[in-house]
Amino acid sequence: MNSDGSLVRLEDVHKWFGDDLYVLRGIDLAVTPSEVVVVIGPSGSGKSTLLRTINLLEEPTEGRVLFDGVDLTDIRTDLNAARTGIGLVFQQFNLFPHKTALGNITLALRNVLGLSREEARERAVEQLREVGLEEKADAYPGQLSGGQQQRVAIARALAMRPKLMLFDEVTSALDPELVKEVLDVMQRLAGEGMTMVVVTHEMGFAREVGTRLLFIDHGQIVEEGEPREMFASPGHERTRQFLAQVL
Amino acid sequence: MSVGEGAAAAGDPLPDEPRRPPDRGLRHTAGEQTPLSSLALAAGAGGLVLVFAGSAAVATAYGWTPTESLAEAITSPAQLVVLLTSIGLGALAGIAGLLGARRAMTKGAREGAISGAALGLQAIVLAGFLLWFRNGDVERFARQFFDFALLSDFTDRFLRAAGNTVVLALSGEAIGIALGLVFAVFALSSRRVVRAPARAYINFFRGTPLLWQLSFFFFGIVLGLQLDVGVYTVAILVFGLNAGAYSAEIFRAGIQSIERGQFEAARSLGMSYLMALRLVILPQAIRRVIPPLTNEFVILIKDTSLVVVLGLTLSQQELLSTARDIYAQTFNATPFLAAAAGYLAITLPMIRVVTWLERRLRSGLTGIGA
Ligand SMILES: Nc1ncnc2c1ncn2[C@@H]1O[C@H](COP(=O)(O)OP(=O)(O)O)[C@@H](O)[C@H]1O
Ligand SMILES: [Mg+2]
């Protein structure tokens, strides 16, 4: 935890791509443990970039990222170690196609956390069971449906026992009938007290599971608040317009 | 990314390799042939077979060795009959084929007629060439190129030469793959100071002739600096450096062909750059580059022949230098044929392996469909 009681805090984070593309324009954000922060906003507004700066996959051009009492933007920080505390799930799953579901999970357990073969296997099987895919342990990603692949990806991230989970439009690449199985896993995770930052277009999930809603446009947090209140009475014109389009 | 959505129930066997397009050949259309198309097929195939089988039969009758009897066979009246008959059959196939194709009522009959004409044309070309050939100084030619009796004296040397060719190529390729991997990673570095020397190495060895490289490193560096390094070792090192440059480009392309998301997923799990490369990127990239790498290897096998310029000792000689050596001793060119046979014996299986691998990798049976 950070000194202010937050698990992760972004302080005046700016991100440029090259000299012309100004994607994050001064983000201040603190997420306290067990919060489920849902991020919405138009395409290209910087939502993915925001998530990716939290685990320093994108290095902020300016500003600080503090996670669990460690300044990730400090050059001396061991980022690899810090990243094991932050799970990231991608829109495109990004499972390793040359590894089975089990192998996808054990790879980092063995090589990053240094677990023994048995420990890794045990933990991976248990994690697969939690996402309802125990019997797919030996299947390759190419043999799984999109929803199953995404649940394996979530299991892979969770197996590292992270304190924070980041979800980047994890249901956007799924056929509609497969969305629910993934959202169910995320909802249960939230119920267990996991701290989560979720970029999504699933407004139902935002309303039911989110503890805070963040509307981002042009790289800035335009408005934030309690999800139900914000849906009912958005405070900004741009939020109103965006919600009118997606609801 | 919709891969395998169809095969949702896991444990389902993967879909079979995509079926080849329906064969346009004749196997399934025997019943459709007309008299004309059948005639074209029979005459064409007969003519072509006759060129080979007839000539071989004549040569066997007169004897393949010594060269005098082989020359006699080639110039014999029997051989003339064989060739003229083949040409006649070929012409018949051509005419029947053209007429048959025009009048064909079914696809099968037209295919049959066209195939017959094509075979007939091949018979005419081959027989015509042999006809022209036997008007030359066949006696001399047979002595020069077809002295198979002479080869039997050098069987051991050729076997050892083939072994040396394989050793040169394999050691060069092994060094090349190791260098290639390292320099591919360097060439992909975001740091210019790492990238630049890697590019310089790759461009230099891809941009200068291998023959120049061999000459420079041996005559220039080793002899010039009086280093105590043997020809054979220098050759292997130069082949390695050269193969390394080409392999580096192949590996670089392979690594870049892996989606960025793979690397990001690995890093987000706490893997270091090198760990992500080793555990996630390379296992996938290597499978993709096996076909082009094997192709490079086939080229290297042939290029080992360039060591002839270095002057190898007897026990170090590979196929081409052995052929040249024997030629210099005997003034007989048959050893060159033997060398060609040796190269083909090594490269053809490799080429088949490449084709097989490519088909296998494309069919996605390795779990790299995505
Ligand atoms: N690695 C990158 N290099 C250059 N531009 C990028 C990169 N990543 C994202 N961008 C650009 O930054 C902007 C915001 O992207 P992103 O954060 O993915 O938006 P969102 O997730 O809200 O759709 C887009 O214009 C995108 O093209
Ligand atoms: Mg995005």
What DSSP character marks residue B21?
Answer: P
Q: Is the pLDDT of residue A1 over 90?
A: no
Whichever domain contains B190, its CATH number is 1.10.3720.10
Place of tokens 């190791």: B178
Q: Is the pLDDT of residue B331 over 50?
A: yes
**Same domain for B256 and B198?**
yes
**Closest atom of ligand 1 relative to the A46 alpha carbon:** 17
The residue-averaged pLDDT of A39-50 equals 96
pLDDT at B23: 54
Q: Is residue B77 part of a domain?
A: yes
Position B5 confidence tier, pLDDT thresholds 50, 70, 90:
very low
A49 lines ligand 1 (CB under 6 A): yes
pLDDT digits (tens, 9 = 90+) for B47-106: 999 999 999 999 999 988 888 888 899 999 999 999 999 999 999 999 999 999 898 888
Q: Is the pLDDT of residue B320 over 60?
A: yes
List for chain B the helix, strand, coil content (%; round to 5): 80, 0, 20
Which residues of chain B are within 8 Å of residue A145 when distances are taken between CB atoms?
A: 4-5, 8
**Same domain for B167 and B112?**
no
* Length of chain A measured in residues: 247
**Interatomic CA distance for residues B126 and B90, integer angstroms:** 10
Q: Do residues B257 and A70 touch, judged by C-beta distance below 8 A?
A: no
Q: Is the pLDDT of residue A53 over 60?
A: yes
**Same domain for B96 and B190?**
no
Percent of chain B scoring above 70 in pLDDT: 90
**Interatomic CA distance for residues B299 and B250, integer angstroms:** 14
pTM of structure: 0.83
Q: What kind and span of H or E run contains B164? A: helix B155-187
**Same domain for B97 and B170?**
no
**Interatomic CA distance for residues A110 and A96, integer angstroms:** 15
**Same domain for B167 and B142?**
no
Percent of chain B scoring above 90 in pLDDT: 62
Q: Is residue B268 part of a domain?
A: yes
B367 touches chain A (CB under 8 A): yes
Q: Please give the residue range of the domain that contains residue B215.
A: 157-363
Q: Do residues B308 and A122 touch, judged by C-beta distance below 8 A?
A: no
A84 touches chain B (CB under 8 A): yes
Question: ipTM for the complex?
Answer: 0.95
Radius of gyration of chain A (CA): 18
B221 touches chain A (CB under 8 A): no
The residue-averaged pLDDT of B162-186 equals 96
Q: Is residue B12 part of a domain?
A: no
**Alpha-carbon torsion (B169, B171, B172, B178), positive or negative:** positive
**Alpha-carbon torsion (B198, B201, B203, B205), positive or negative:** negative
**Same domain for B169 and B70?**
no
Nearest chain A CA: its distance from B367 CA (Å): 6
Q: Is the pLDDT of residue B10 over 50?
A: no
The residue-averaged pLDDT of B169-192 equals 96
Position A247 confidence tier, pLDDT thresholds 50, 70, 90:
confident
**Interatomic CA distance for residues A212 and A118, integer angstroms:** 40
Q: Is residue B165 part of a domain?
A: yes
Please tell me the residue having the least CA distance from ligand 1 atom 21.
Answer: A48
**Interatomic CA distance for residues B209 and B193, integer angstroms:** 27
Tally of domains within chain B: 2
pLDDT at B202: 97
Q: Do residues B336 and B327 touch, judged by C-beta distance below 8 A?
A: yes
Position B18 confidence tier, pLDDT thresholds 50, 70, 90:
very low
The reply to whether omega before A60 is within 30° of 0 (cis) is no
